[in-house]
Amino acid sequence: MNFDTIIGHQQQIKMLKSAIAQQRIAHAYLFDGHAGIGKKLVAQAFACSFLCETGCGCGRCSSCTHLAAGSHPDVHLLQPDGETIKIDQIRSLQPQLALRSFAGRGKVCLIDNAELMTREAANALLKTLEEPTADTLIILISSRPESLLETIRSRCQRVRFTRLPRLALAHHLEHDLAISAAEALVLAAVADGSFEKALGQHQDLYLKKRAGLIQSLSALSSTSTIQTFELAQTLKAEKDLIGEILNIFDIYLRDLLLYQHGQPVDQLINQDMLPLIKQQSCRLSTPQLITKLGAVAQARTYLGRNVNLHLTLDHMLMQIAHA
């Protein structure tokens, strides 16, 4: 795992490489930015270069080999135990950070989803941040840094990560997944710049099921009781993916609205469904589209409040069909 294998984030990587080259590494960093865009990969590459015998993450030295195998004695990865990172996890880390490093190059502690530290855990970590040992590098990774204690944030050098540009992500997806350029563009757009989303469990949904779901949605009308019922059954069967499916509906309805208001077609997201988008945006009025978008937004709010899934979906589809 070194910097060369990472896609995007070139500015951040340049800064971290130069910190290593000039031996001006802060004791603690906070890597923040949207979930799934590669913050942890950059943190691992940084740890790798920091500990590497050649200083560049060679991939061949004993340190790099141990790190790749997940067995480096000087690297500690803290992740939530259940819902939170607990004080016991921080306490068991502290004596290890106080010891000399095994390989003599330093110790690294990565805290992933750092915002999930309990208040007690955060206060315990604060002690470590206040009294850093010379050769320890602590990297906090968070997509919600505002949830961290201000006293923790202020003791870390902040490195902000942004979503990968859509075209850059699409280019890599096209190559990595051996899919068409049009599919790659759609996947990059619906994954919202997140590699984890694009390559993860949602890939099948985005590439294979999306078009069918959108077609079913666009076929709904006040006289389509059977289609509404069938789509409701399909959605209920995909209940683990419902947030993503609502996202797909949202993006499609927005495409219709944008096309209606003169947005150039190459800026729409569902590039592979332009004939349907053109046809539907002529058929539907702006107030109708806004009502449909409102129904999707309301369903999302209801699900966030744990309202019954079946009732929520039935209600949403009825509103969309009758708009």
Q: Summarize as ranges the residues that interact with Zn ion (CB under 5 A).
A: 52, 58, 61, 64
- Written as six digits, the tokens of 313 are 């979906």
> Minimum CB separation from Zn ion for residue 58, in Å?
4
Closer residue to Zn ion, CB minimum distance, 72 or 197: 72
- Written as six digits, the tokens of 188 are 């990059």
- Written as six digits, the tokens of 2 are 């070194």
> Minimum CB separation from Zn ion for residue 108, in Å?
14
- Written as six digits, the tokens of 242 are 């419902």
Closer residue to Zn ion, CB minimum distance, 2 or 194: 2
- Written as six digits, the tokens of 261 are 């208001």
- Does residue 138 contact residue 28 with C-beta atoms inside 8 Å? yes
> Minimum CB separation from Zn ion for residue 122, in Å?
33
The residues near 75 (Cβ < 8 Å, ≥ 6 apart) are 47, 51, 67, 107, 108, 109, 110
Beta-strand relationship, 28-32 and 157-160: parallel
> Minimum CB separation from Zn ion for residue 100, in Å?
20
> Minimum CB separation from Zn ion for residue 50, in Å?
10
Rounded CA gap, 181 and 187, in Å?
10
Closer residue to Zn ion, CB minimum distance, 68 or 241: 68
Closer residue to Zn ion, CB minimum distance, 25 or 307: 25
Nearest to 199, CA basis, from 41, 31, 15? 41
Residue carrying the six token digits 């949403």: 316
Closer residue to Zn ion, CB minimum distance, 67 or 173: 67
